[in-house]
Amino acid sequence: MLRHDVTPEEAGARVDVLVARLSGASRSLVGEAVRDGLVRVNGEIVKGSRTLEEREVVEYDLPMHPPLAAEPEHIDVPILYEDDDIVVVDKPAGMVTHPARGAVHGTLVNALLAHTGNLPGNALRPGLVHRLDRDTSGLLVVAKNDETLRRLGKAMMARRISREYLGLVHGVPEHPRGRIEGPIGRDPHNRLKYAIIAAGKPAVTNYELHEVFPKHAELIFHLETGRTHQIRVHAAAMGHPIVNDPLYGRDEPRFGLRGQALHAWRLRLRHPRTREDLVFETPPPPAYLRAKELLR
């Protein structure tokens, strides 16, 4: 077992948070070690939520998992545009963007590796400049070489890549346009969710009313930042959760959707090499359109 003496700066931290920080392992892997009795404080088996005091001794022995790597898989994915530098795809709802524990195969990255032969950057997220939730459909731009990945990454950080989404929500917002600001971080009560919390990262979502139904509305969302689940968290926070959102609203089988009614429909960027302004649009998938008809 590895041993660590708790410093004054670390006092008050949860043991699972500290072990994850010390080891570089994921919280889920540390949680597995805690449940197996492989994390101890002062020689005693503890819960992951145990808070630490200065000079206590933490011992841990984390199970080793084989490293994940994205492998090419021949999966058809709609491609709207491609050249030597970028590829713009229309990700289907239900497809995970990149491999992770529990979703190693069938991802967008697997498909693109088979299509392009090679992608730059992180072994699990090669070529990715941004991501979409599994059940959110729509547009993604992917870099095909290192220089493009670097330039697009800088453009994304500088907010020079514009992303707009269509979403069906419960209720009709009072104002036809609005701006939602609220820092987003892990929900302290549910590790699967995100929430607006003081310690979260800054997040800004703009919206405008696109169409009104008797008890619902379709909104256009424009992201200024790109936090995980951002639109879903902000929509729920303003009292208008996305239709059929199992995490931030409720399951609604009558719509026949795989998940939340959210679609990345418009993408604007300047080509990283030619400097040409590019605009891409793709209509929502049939399941989204059928749900929209039901709302009418």
DSSP 241-259: PBTT-TTTS---GGG--SS
Q: How confident is the model at residue 32 (pLDDT cuts 50, 70, 90)?
A: confident
Could you tell me the CATH number of the domain that includes residue 46? 3.10.290.10
Q: Which are the contacts of 44, defined by CB distance < 8 A and separation ≥ 6?
A: none
The strand pairing partners of 14, in sequence order, are 51
198 and 103 belong to one structural domain: yes
37 and 131 belong to one structural domain: no
Which H or E run contains 33?
helix 27-35
Question: Is 217 or 124 the better-scoring residue by pLDDT?
Answer: 217
283 and 170 belong to one structural domain: yes
Asked whether residue 68 is domain-assigned, the answer is: no
- Count up the domains in the chain and report the number: 2
What percent of the chain lies above the pLDDT cut of 70? 98
Q: How confident is the model at residue 101 (pLDDT cuts 50, 70, 90)?
A: low
**In terms of residue numbers, what domain contains 233?**
79-295
Q: Over the chain, what is the mean pLDDT?
A: 93
Q: To 10 degrees, the CA torsion angle through 136, 140, 146, 151?
A: -110
What percent of the chain lies above the pLDDT cut of 90? 82
> Residue 65: what pLDDT?
63
> Residue 102: what pLDDT?
66
> Residue 66: what pLDDT?
60
Residue pair 79/88 in contact by the 8 Å Cβ criterion: yes
Is it the case that residue 67 has pLDDT exceeding 70?
Answer: no
Q: How confident is the model at residue 20 (pLDDT cuts 50, 70, 90)?
A: confident
Question: Is 32 or 52 the better-scoring residue by pLDDT?
Answer: 52
pTM greater than 0.85:
no
Question: Is 60 or 9 the better-scoring residue by pLDDT?
Answer: 60
Q: What is the pLDDT of residues 259-275, one digit of tens each?
A: 999 999 999 999 999 99
Asked whether residue 72 is domain-assigned, the answer is: no
Could you tell me the CATH number of the domain that includes residue 232? 3.30.2350.10
Asked whether residue 70 is domain-assigned, the answer is: no
* Residue 160 tokens, joined: 């020079």
Asked whether residue 285 is domain-assigned, the answer is: yes
Query: Distance of alpha carbon 256 from its chain centroid, rounded?
Result: 23
> Residue 1: what pLDDT?
82
- C-alpha 120/C-alpha 146 separation (Å) is 5
Q: What is the pLDDT of residues 136-161, one digit of tens each?
A: 999 999 999 999 999 999 999 999 99
Supply the DSSP string of 75-91, one letter for each residue: ----EEEE-SSEEEEEE
Output phi, psi for 241, to 5 deg: -65, 155
The closest alpha carbon to 108, from 87, 91, 120, belongs to: 91
Asked whether residue 65 is domain-assigned, the answer is: no
Strand, helix or coil at 294? helix
Asked whether residue 73 is domain-assigned, the answer is: no
Report the pLDDT averaged over residues 35-61. 94
Active site residues: 133
Output phi, psi for 204, to 5 deg: -135, 125
Report the pLDDT averaged over residues 174-196. 93
> Residue 120: what pLDDT?
95
210 and 283 belong to one structural domain: yes
96 and 28 belong to one structural domain: no
> Residue 233: what pLDDT?
98
Q: What is the pLDDT of residues 220-252, one digit of tens each?
A: 999 999 999 999 999 999 999 999 999 999 999
- C-alpha 100/C-alpha 102 separation (Å) is 6
Is it the case that residue 190 has pLDDT exceeding 90?
Answer: no
* Residue 62 tokens, joined: 């984390």
89 and 33 belong to one structural domain: no
